A = this chain, B = another copy of it.
Amino acid sequence: MKISELSRTTGVPVASIKYFRRQGLLPAGRATAATLAEYGDEHVQRVRLIKALTTLGGLSIAATRDVLAAVDGAEGPDGTLKAISYALPVPVAQAPVEDADQEAEAESAAAADVADLVAAMDWRVAAASPHVQGLRAALRELRRLDAGYQPDRLVAYAELAHAVAGLDLERAAGFDDSPALAEQAVIVLALSGPVLELLRRLAQEDRVRRRMELVGDGDDLL
Binding site for B on A (CB under 8 A): 8-9, 11, 45, 48-49, 51-52, 55-56, 58, 78-79, 81-82, 85, 88, 90-93, 95, 97, 99-100, 103, 115, 118-119, 121, 123-129, 131-132, 134-135, 137-139, 141-142, 144-145, 147, 149, 153, 156-158, 160-169, 171, 173, 184, 187-189, 191-212, 215, 219-222
Complex A-B: 27 CB contacts under 8 Å? A48-B145, A51-B141, A52-B141, A52-B144, A55-B141, A56-B142, A58-B91, A85-B201, A85-B205, A91-B198, A125-B209, A125-B221, A127-B220, A127-B222, A132-B202, A135-B202, A138-B198, A142-B195, A147-B184, A153-B167, A160-B167, A161-B199, A161-B200, A161-B202, A164-B200, A165-B200, A169-B211
Known: A78-B212, A201-B131. Contact between A125 and B168, CB under 8 A? no
Q: Which 3 pairs, one residue from A and one from B, show the smallest C-beta to C-beta distance? A: A161-B199, A165-B203, A126-B219
The prevalent SS among residues of A at the interface is helix
Residues from chain B with a CB closer than 8 A to the CB of A118 are 202, 222
Distance of A103 from chain B, by nearest CB (Å): 8
Instruction: Check if A142 sits within 8 Å of B52, measured CB to CB.
Output: yes
Partner pick for A124 among B11, B119, B132, B210, CB 8 A cutoff: B210
Known contacts A123-B206, A131-B198, A149-B195; 13 further A-B pairs (Cβ under 8 A):
A45-B145, A55-B95, A79-B212, A81-B208, A82-B212, A92-B194, A121-B206, A124-B221, A125-B209, A147-B187, A153-B171, A158-B199, A160-B164
Q: Most B CB atoms within 10 A — which of A144, A153, A215?
A: A144
Closest to A193 in B: B197
Partner pick for A196 among B123, B124, B157, B207, CB 8 A cutoff: B157
